[in-house]
Amino acid sequence: MTPGAAATAPRGPDAAPATESLQRDFAHAARQYGVPQGVLLGVAYLQSRWDGHGGAASVIGGYGPMHLTDARTALASAPRPGHGAHGSHDGRAGRDGVPRPTVHAGAAVRTPAAVPDTASLPARLRTLERAAALSGLAPEELRTSARANVLGGAALLADAQRRLGRAPSPDPADWYGAVAAFSAADDAATASAYADDVFEVIRTGHSRRTDAGQRVALAPDAGAVADRAQVAGLGLRTADRGRTECPRTVSCEWVPAPYEELGEGDYGNHDKADRPVSQSVRHIVVHDVEGYWDSALRMVQDPAYVSWQYTLRSSDGHVAQHVPLKDVAWHAGNWYVNATSVGLEHEGFLAAPDAWYTEAMYRSSARLVRHLAKRYGIPLDRQHVIGHDNVPGSTAAGVRGMHTDPGPYWDWAHYFTLLGRPFEAAAGPRSAVVTVRPDYAHHRPPYTGCVKPGEPCAPHGSGAVRLHTAPSADAPLVKDIGLRPDGSESTTNVNDVGARASTGQQYAVAERRGDWTAIWYLGTKAWFHDPAAQPTAVGARGVVLTPREGLAEVPVYGRAYPEAAAYPADVPVQALSPLPYRLLAGQRYVVGDRVPGEYLYAPTFDTSAHRVVRGQESYYQIQFGHRIAFVKAADVTLMGSYD
């Protein structure tokens, strides 16, 4: 939401050979501290998927495969990167004709304290300190050595077992309470949800090659049972679930956003509604906070700020709900999308390559999204589960101010695997539609501007592919005239989405030449490197559209508003206001939904004046560039399902 500090950059693992040494480190630590190896591996998988992130700290100051937290050290050395459009516009954007101030008293540009008070950091942000005391290993060693880090994690688990009055045991079920304690959560529900996830990992097993080239495997143990009664011995608080609308499989508490009058016709920080009776919920928008859990909760409880439905904590996946799902939060920067979506903020920074989003947070988020998708009938695909960086500007003037989170380092492939909808080939290699799907860990396009303008970012896995004007890495990047009306080229800046396609997005193929594939993108051909030996896209099936016969081009919109005749006399007519792009004859774009022309009129604190205006005009949502867009159904022809 607002700029803040990021974690330190990694020391890249590019040259690290594939070995079994980390597997041996887990075995050694398990023996030394009497912890079942499956438990130690299960905890580490949930913490980091066994990645070391090159010694870089996570957003909460966690280090190494065990994600031991030392926030004080991480924050002391954290750079302060820029984050493009973050914090520069009003989340209510697009409410043309609403007679009230655009921004209340600095709300949209308010910057909270960049870091929490390090003198009173909670236990979940100081686990490395205790690991050092228990293991006798130096803090620096615990931060930089994977072997030491694993030993420190094992020491914490063994100590938690002792504190619970339980003897070491080879049976994983005897360690449920210790695993819950390892989370350092301060409430019983979060600790239990964390331990449940670890035991799911133990039961199902996993194997993978880490970011440092290490081969690690955890054999499945289907008999590993979770003894939840052990959590009672931790003496943790009971979080107030209050009015939360979360699945029982996530820990969730009610931290309400205020609905208050602020004077001068202004109010905050969301709108009362009656969804899905009043309007359908069609999108789930994934954000990152561009900050920390504590600062996010302070912001969303400020009536002069904006709002979102949920915040997710990095360390353990804990969820806070702020706005009832029936109401409209101000999070997307596009009023049409606000009115038809749910917003999820994740603790983190998009421009910090290794301020990593944790496995615990990914899993909790995926369970929440599955719950929301089932509740509202939302398809689990990338035209419905979108990033904030996929939300279009409402109007041409708004394009340049749109946000860019969660950015190119969010692992959409892993996220959708957790959602139960992995991105797999659905058609052959010469298909007319493709799904973008690079190998996240090994696909490392260069970016700049993570810390300083123009300065290269640390090499890191990415789910985004770069788009060129010709089938050559030396060709210029495609232009985005909405972002750069002067016609200048897109850049490799981490916040520049002008020439970027993201994992899971689907596009119609325009041409193929050798190792390069061209797609229709922002009204032009856009080429990306797609070698058969290491493809960055897979064949897909999808419905596509093109301008109807006789039209050389059709306008593209950032919102699907009704025609002027549909508005009652007491509701100001909203201009259709096309974006500065055109969909040209012969071009094809993948269709998401057919949606009605619809506008939520919510001008006052008093909800009696609110209206939902619907017209006869309908639209198709399409994947047009990096962001979604809308075209009038009357302007286009569907061309059926292509593969």
With a cut of 70, say whether residue 103 has pLDDT above it: no
Question: Where a domain ends, among 181, 209, 234?
Answer: 234
Establish if 35 belongs to a structural domain.
yes
Co-location of 133 and 279 in the same domain: no
**End-of-domain residue from the set 546, 578, 607:** 546
What DSSP string runs through 416-437? HHHTT------S-TT-SEEEE-
Has residue 89 been placed in a domain? no
Burial class of residue 165 (count of CB atoms within 10 Å of its CB; 0-12, 13-18, 19+):
exposed
| pLDDT at residue 168 is higher than 50 | yes
Is residue 31 one of the residues assigned to a domain?
yes
Does 173 share its domain with 250? no
Is residue 139 located within the same domain as residue 274?
no
- Indicate if 337 and 261 belong to the same structural domain: yes
CA distance 583 to 523: 5
Residue 189 lies in a domain: yes
| pTM of the complete model beyond 0.85 | yes
Give me the CATH number covering residue 150.
Answer: 1.10.530
Q: Which residue has the tokens 């896209």?
A: 537
CB neighbours of residue 97 within 10 Å: 13
62-76 per-position pLDDT tens digit: 999 999 999 888 877
304-361 pLDDT, tens digit each: 999 999 999 998 999 999 999 999 999 999 999 999 999 999 998 888 766 678 899 9
Any domain includes 490: yes
CA torsion sign for 188, 191, 194, 200 is: negative
pLDDT value at 79 more than 80: no
Give the pLDDT confidence of 114-137 residue by residue, as tens digits: 455 555 688 888 999 999 999 999
Rounded Cα distance, 350 and 81, in Å:
10
Quick: pLDDT tens for 256-298: 999 999 988 889 899 999 999 999 999 999 999 998 899 999 9
Residues 226 and 248 in one domain: no
pLDDT (average), residues 617-641? 95
The phi, psi pair for 294, rounded to 5°, reads -65, -40
pLDDT digits 0-9 by tens, 359-398: 999 999 999 999 999 999 999 999 999 999 999 999 999 9
Structure tokens at 8: 């330190």
Same domain, 329 and 382: yes
564 in the same domain as 537? no
Strand ordering across the sheet containing 319-321 = 252-254, 319-321, 310-312, 341-346, 283-288, 385-387
* The domain boundary residue, chosen from 507, 528, 546: 546
DSSP summary character for residue 232 = G
What's the pLDDT score for residue 289? 92
- Residue 528, domain member (yes or no): yes
- When computed from its CA atoms, the radius of gyration of the chain, rounded to whole angstroms, is 25
Same domain? For 443 and 526 the reply is yes
The pLDDT of residue 95: 58
| 92 in a structural domain | no
Total domains present in the chain: 3
Q: How confident is the model at residue 112 (pLDDT cuts 50, 70, 90)?
A: very low
Residue 412 lies in a domain: yes
Do 201 and 271 lie in one domain? The reply is no
Amino acid making up residue 77:
S
**Domain, as residue range, for 429:** 107-114+241-546
- Minimal CA–CA distance to 291: which of 392, 187, 406, 194? 406
Residue 387 sits in the same domain as residue 528:
yes
131 and 199 together in one domain: yes
CATH number of the domain residue 438 falls in: 3.40.80.10
Q: Are residues 157 and 257 in the same domain?
A: no
